[in-house]
Amino acid sequence: MSDTPTAATPPDALEHFKLHFFAAATRVLTQAARTFGSEDAMLARFPFLTAYREELTGLGVGSLEEENGPGNWPEALAAWEADVEGHLPLRALREAASLDVDALALLLAVGMVEEDARFGALFAALQGTPTVHRPTLGLLNACWRGEDDRGEVRTFLRRLMELGLVEVINRDTPRSEWALHVPGAVWDALRGEAPETLTPWMKHHALSVLERDEPLLVPNALHEAMARLPALLASGEARAVVVRGPRHNGRRTLLRSVAKALGRGVLEVEGPEKADDERWRMVGALATLLHALPVAVLDPAPGEAATVPKLQGLDGPLGAVLGRLGGVSGEGVDRALTLAVDMPGPQERALHWERALAGRPCPALEEISGRFRYTRGNIRRAAKLAQAHAALAGRTAVEPEDVREAGRALNRQALDTLAVRLTSTVDWTQLAVGGETMRELRHLEARCRGRERLGGVVGGTLARQLTPGVRALLQGPSGTGKTLAARLIASVLQLDVYRVELSSVVNKYIGETEKNLARIFALAEELDVVLLFDEGDSLFAKRTGVSSSTDRYANLETNYLLQRIESFEGILLVTTNAAESIDSAFQRRMDVVVDFRAPDASERWAIWQMHLPAAHAVDTGLLREVATRCNLSGGQIRNAVLHASLLAMEDGKPVASAHLEAGVVREYRKAGDVCPLRRQGAVSLRG
């Protein structure tokens, strides 16, 4: 081989790859010429190699029979690289992973079939394995070993496997017959290519893409920290940055900004949370090849920690994205800085809405920004849908109702699996409760409306303790209007209310209940919905003495709920028929406790009037007697009216006194009590 095989090669990543590829081809073709007796015999059997042989000749490679070892390739490649200042994937990998030119040539030999499938037939012939078209460890050892075989090939391959650059596809065979291959994502990166989707769990965002991102909209304190962060990472004072906060709230966008400041792209990795997860193996080397900041998107369960190992072959810092719960540990996040990305306040939300609406008229911008407490990402997504809703209605301007409809489409499928959305279009006039109860409900409404402003009007210590979360306990006998009141709260606030389905949340397997609850609370915060635990006695019950493992884990669930309720930043409503069974620690954490009692005669009269149809024919005297003498709850009155209406519908008449009496008697019969009415109609009409 001549001393200057690379003189005319243009300096870019692909040409650099080709030179390493031909260094590998030199070794493989030399072995093939020896195996088949001569170059001519080799070319006669595999004519496609003629083009490669001509390329090698043009690069100064002489007789293959005379080639032995790496030849002048290391010196020639070093001379070529000396004139290139930009990022060369193979050079960066070599320096970060302590490899040499020979090891890289071995790597490219493993992947030759990725470049040209015809090499598969050559490998099969050289190995005597008609069905195996990838190079085996035995073949590579024959091509690369020196006169004294000291296991260099095994050492090289072991290192390449540690880096996730080479994989074995048939580990159940003897080691010498192991067939090796290079993952497709790695091969593309070796060639200087960078598709966006590398695997189902890994995406790449090139620096050229990041440079088109809009400037960050974050609070001043976070913006100042961001300005100092790249220098700390570039100097090595910090080796990782962990960003915590709700989903769709700019965590990844923040790390994209860090990567851009470092002159790197981003390699997003979803899911691996254990140090021994095979997905970690290739991340470090692949990030180096792509000149990217690896960003691990982690979601550890409450009380658990994701483990990030030291990434082999990584030539720069690491980023990690987490929610508010769970931890992160491991060598990969040693010397890590942590940034918290909290939910945006009303003023910042207004800026995000302005940017997302891109000039679309929105006279109600202030109302929308104050009313919908969405994450940064959800604002952008909701803005697009809101514009579509406005256009569908034939309007140019975006209105609050457009935003509300758009919000219902944001990841609601995930919430719908664990909770049920309740509808309500009525107002406070539809609820008949005592004066004190109504005052507390109005106070709860005011607390919800001012949840973000309250911290600005109280003392400094208290202001630091306050969160935008509102927690309320609605307690009282069954049928007194607790669930209706919860729906009304959401209705007057113009928010959706989701009732948690305990059958979907509670799981017999240890830790699964906490995971489900964590998902519900997180989604409710991100989507700004009212969360309702209806008849939540089973979840919020008093902790018990620990006499078994079941008691211990039940108490763990209760402890988790206590902690999560305290940190919850949404609106949480809990109803109960048995306040005495609720753990006192839950009651202490409630901002508002509303007592519901059985309605008195005047309230029962109002409830009857609300539920009876306007065209009823019930005698007023009977109705007053029923309201006075029949001590029914609001739920029982509702059921009685439904039964009376059904009877009237079957008779083809308006609801009359006899129908109403039958409905009342039926409710008493269901409760096992004697109806205080003694009118003839009550016993003569079917019930």
Model confidence at 658: pLDDT above 80: yes
Residue showing tokens 């290391």: 74
- Are 310 and 332 in contact, with CB atoms under 8 Å apart? yes
pLDDT band at 87 (very low <50, low <70, confident <90, very high): very high
In this prediction, residue 74 carries a pLDDT of: 85
Three-state DSSP class for residue 573: strand
The amino acid sitting at 290 is L
- Pick the closest to residue 664 from 651, 547, 633, 654 (CA basis): 633
pLDDT at 563: 81
The predicted structure's pLDDT at residue 548: 44
Phi, psi angles (nearest 5°) of residue 13? -60, -40
φ, ψ at 55 (rounded to 5°): -60, -45
Span 122-136, average pLDDT:
93
**What is the spatial order of strands in the sheet that 419-422 belongs to?**
419-422, 497-500, 530-533, 571-576, 470-475, 592-595
In this structure, which long-range contacts are made by residues 253-257, counting pairs with CB atoms below 8 Å and at least 24 apart in sequence? Answer: 253/213, 253/216, 253/376, 253/377, 254/216, 254/218, 254/222, 254/226, 254/339, 254/341, 255/293, 255/295, 255/319, 255/321, 256/205, 256/210, 256/213, 257/210, 257/213, 257/216, 257/226
**pLDDT for the residue 678:** 63
Residue 38 has pLDDT above 80, yes or no: yes
> Mind listing the pLDDT tens digit for each residue in 282-338?
999 999 999 999 999 998 887 788 999 999 999 999 999 998 888 899 999 989 999
Model confidence at 144, pLDDT cuts 50, 70, 90, reads confident
Interval 176-217: pLDDT, tens? 899 999 999 999 999 998 889 999 999 999 999 999 998 888
> Which whole number is the average pLDDT over 145-168?
84
Cα 567 from Cα 583, distance rounded (Å): 18
Biggest CA pair distance of the chain? 119
- Low-confidence winner among 155-159, 470-474, 532-536 (lowest mean pLDDT): 532-536
The pLDDT value given to residue 664: 92
Mean pLDDT score, 634-659: 91
* Range 569-594 burial, b when 16+ CB lie within 10 A, else e: bbbbbbbbeeeeebbebbeebbbbeb
The CA-atom distances, in angstroms, between 169 and each of 24, 106, 272, 686 are: 21, 17, 22, 77
Minimum mean pLDDT range among 25-39, 70-84, 210-224, 642-656: 70-84
Domains of the chain: 13-190 (no CATH), 197-340 (3.40.50), 346-410 (1.10.8.60), 428-595 (3.40.50.300), 601-684 (1.10.8.60)
Mean pLDDT throughout 215-225?
A: 90
Closest CA to 598 of 607, 589, 590: 607
Classify the C-alpha dihedral 478-484-486-487 as positive or negative.
positive
Statement: residue 412 has pLDDT above 90: no
Residues above pLDDT 70, as percent of the chain: 90
pLDDT tens string 251-296: 999 999 999 999 999 999 998 888 888 889 999 999 999 999 999 9
Res 615: pLDDT: 87
What pLDDT does residue 546 have?
43
- Give the pLDDT band of residue 65 (cuts 50, 70, 90): low
How confident is the model over 638-655, as a mean pLDDT?
91
Query: For the ranges 17-31, 367-381, 540-554, 581-595, which has the lowest average pLDDT?
Result: 540-554
Q: What is the pLDDT of residue 550?
A: 44
Average pLDDT over residues 54-82: 79
Instruction: Evaluate the CA torsion angle 84, 86, 91, 96 in order and state its sign.
Output: positive
Question: Looking at residue 560, what is its pLDDT?
Answer: 77
292-297 and 265-270 strand pairing:
parallel
Integer Cα distance of 671 and 636 in angstroms = 10
Angle at 70 between CA 65 and CA 76, to 5 degrees: 115
Q: How far apart are CA 447 and CA 470, in angstroms?
A: 7
Q: What is the pTM of this model?
A: 0.83
List, as one string, the DSSP characters of 183-237.
-HHHHHHHTT---SEEETTEEEE-HHHHTTSPPP---HHHHHHHHHHHHHHHHTS
The mean pLDDT value of the chain amounts to 86
522-535 pLDDT, tens per residue? 889 988 999 998 87
How far apart CA 386 and CA 276 sit, in angstroms, is: 44
Question: Is residue 1 pLDDT above 60, yes or no?
Answer: no
pLDDT value for 373: 92
Write out pLDDT tens, residues 383-410: 999 999 999 999 999 999 999 889 888 8
**Residue in the block written with tokens 């790597």:** 107
**Among 155-164, 494-503, 561-570, 674-683, which stretch is predicted with the lowest mean pLDDT?**
674-683
In the structure, what pLDDT confidence band is assigned to residue 8 with cuts at 50, 70 and 90?
low
C-beta of residue 655 within 8 angstroms of C-beta of residue 616: yes
Kindly give the interhelix angle for 101-110 and 13-36, rounded to the nearest 10 degrees: 80
Element spanning 340, H or E:
strand 336-340
